[in-house]
Amino acid sequence: MIDYKSFLFLDIDGVLATGKSAKPDKSNWFDNHAYPFDPECVNVLNYILGITNAKMIITSDWRFLYELDEMCDIFKFNKIIKSPKGYTPMLIERNDEITDFVSRKRISKFVIIDDLNLDCYKSRLIVTIPDQGLQMFHADKIFKLLE
């Protein structure tokens, strides 16, 4: 059974937003910066969220552009079934930001989903291919890590 206090540390570019979703036609963008997420990646994330009820913590550089309430609007705009619960602290490097958050909050059930091959918590890291993003085959590994 998956712990209800599980967390997903979530990047956006290369995980939810892929090259095929960032089209130059801005008519379907949230605003001038937030291009739409890839619908296939959104479906996978929604599937994962529906089963795990995990809390999403954003690690993406999009944190520098949007306040949390705006990020929640972006997720809703992209049809994600839950809103992010917070951001990692803005330190110098993503590895340090995640490590700091995990240790301060004393989190033990978590998965990091990123298109970067980070150095922290390698056994809890799901690395996506930037042009493909989050795929269904990632879900099984995520479920196992959150058991």
Burial class (CB in 10 A: 0-12, 13-18, 19+), 69: exposed
Question: Rounded CA gap, 86 and 100, in Å?
Answer: 14
pLDDT, one tens digit per residue, over 86-140 is 999 999 899 999 999 999 999 999 999 999 999 999 999 999 999 999 999 999 9
Domain limits, the chain? 7-145
Query: pLDDT tens across 9-56, in order?
Result: 999 999 999 987 666 565 565 666 677 899 999 999 999 999 999 999
Q: Which of 86, 61, 60, 59 is nearest to 72 (CA)?
A: 86
Q: How confident is the model at residue 1 (pLDDT cuts 50, 70, 90)?
A: very low
pLDDT at 3 over 60: no
Given 3.40.50.10070, 3.40.50.150, 2.40.160.20, 3.40.50.1000, which CATH number is that of 7-145?
Answer: 3.40.50.1000
